[in-house]
Amino acid sequence: MTIECEKITTPYSATLNRPILNEISCKIHQGEFVALLGLNGAGKSSLLKAIVGLVPLAKGVIKVNNSVQNQQKKHHPDVAMLFQGGGLIRQLSAIENVLCGKLGSLSAWQSLWGFPKHDRRLALELLDRLGLKDQAYQKTAYLSGGQQQRVAIARALIQNPGILLADEPITGLDVLAAKQVMETLAKLHAEQGMTIVVVLHDLSLAAAYAQRAIVLEAGQIIYDGISQNLPEIMQAG
Ligand SMILES: Nc1ncnc2c1ncn2[C@@H]1O[C@H](COP(=O)(O)OP(=O)(O)OP(=O)(O)O)[C@@H](O)[C@H]1O
Ligand SMILES: [Mg+2]
């Protein structure tokens, strides 16, 4: 088992007149590629944040690799999250942004002395693997949206996670850049057996890349099953 959500419910929200997440139960097994779908405000980002312990729960339990996730605990080292909007530091170069993914695991001393050489080598290797070797020392502000998203992926990968949660990694990208990012995720899934949960707004991309789709509506799961034929299923639903 990789991620297990048991009836998770967030505290009551007065503005929504309901909890943001309402009795969500799902199990995501190791090596699955899952698309998380739903309209704006359905609770997709909240669910990913809850899995990494960033959202308090009123009820229910989340287990990651069989250990219970809670807010007090430091973020589970095996889970990396790509936040909606990327969250890169625009003034820093691509490689410096990737190295920031290592900050959590360095001691204060190490970060004062600068990043160890082997981390720099690893960051370069990751950028190379994602097709960004030539952009490694460029300020990320000057990179295209698709390139920035791949820098964000490299930053997540430097932690060597078994699970990658990606919140809208292709929103705002053109068709080609979106495809590159999705192909990158597909490769990580196929070659390293990485467990991937990706928030998408496009049903056909979900069907093309993910085996399974979970659809949220108003904080509840309204569909959990194969992603093929999703456009037809949602229309019929
Ligand atoms: N910290 C918060 N405090 C109060 N309400 C919140 C908070 N975070 C999210 N919400 C509300 O919870 C609902 C779900 O938000 P969430 O960001 O999870 O949606 P989403 O499915 O990711 O939407 P989008 O597709 O727009 O990214 C929204 O109505 C949002 O306004
Ligand atoms: Mg969101």
* Domains of the chain listed by start with CATH number: 1-78+162-237 (3.40.50.300), 88-160 (no CATH)
Closest ligand 1 atom number to CA of residue 55: 1
Asked if the model's pLDDT at residue 147 lies above 70, the reply is yes
Predicted local confidence at residue 172, as pLDDT: 85
Predicted local confidence at residue 91, as pLDDT: 93
Average pLDDT of 195-220? 95
Asked if the model's pLDDT at residue 179 lies above 80, the reply is yes
Q: Which ligand is nearest to the CA of 20?
A: 1
Predicted local confidence at residue 106, as pLDDT: 61
**How far away, in angstroms, is 44 Cα from ligand 2 center?**
5
69 lines ligand 1 (CB under 6 A): no
**How many whole angstroms separate alpha carbon 164 and alpha carbon 158?**
12
Predicted local confidence at residue 121, as pLDDT: 93
Asked if the model's pLDDT at residue 72 lies above 70, the reply is no
153 lines ligand 1 (CB under 6 A): no
Top mutation candidate among 9, 46, 47 for ligand 1, by most atoms within 8 Å of CB: 46
Average pLDDT of 18-29? 97
Predicted local confidence at residue 166, as pLDDT: 95
Predicted local confidence at residue 86, as pLDDT: 78
Asked if the model's pLDDT at residue 11 lies above 90, the reply is yes
Asked if the model's pLDDT at residue 200 lies above 70, the reply is yes
Tell me the pLDDT of the chain averaged across its residues.
90
100 lines ligand 1 (CB under 6 A): no
CB atoms under 10 Å from CB of 27, counted, come to: 13
Predicted local confidence at residue 75, as pLDDT: 66
pLDDT band at 74 (very low <50, low <70, confident <90, very high): low
What percent of the chain is predicted at pLDDT more than 90? 69
Q: Which ligand is nearest to the CA of 41?
A: 1
Q: Which ligand is nearest to the CA of 39?
A: 1
Predicted local confidence at residue 73, as pLDDT: 64
Average pLDDT of 12-19? 92
Q: What is the pLDDT of residues 85-138, one digit of tens each?
A: 778 999 999 999 999 888 766 666 666 667 788 899 999 999 998 889 999 999
Predicted local confidence at residue 160, as pLDDT: 87
- Measured CA distances, 87 to 70, 128, 201, 207, 212 (Å): 23, 21, 20, 27, 27
pTM tops 0.85, yes or no: yes
**How many whole angstroms separate alpha carbon 166 and alpha carbon 170?**
9
Predicted local confidence at residue 39, as pLDDT: 93
20 lines ligand 1 (CB under 6 A): yes
Q: How far is CA 52 from the centre of its chain?
A: 10
**How far away, in angstroms, is 214 Cα from ligand 1 center?**
17
Atom 30 in ligand 1: which residue has the minimum CA distance?
A: 41
**How many whole angstroms separate alpha carbon 117 and alpha carbon 123?**
10
**How far away, in angstroms, is 115 Cα from ligand 1 center?**
36
41 lines ligand 1 (CB under 6 A): yes
10 lines ligand 1 (CB under 6 A): no
Closest ligand 1 atom number to CA of residue 46: 18
45 lines ligand 1 (CB under 6 A): yes
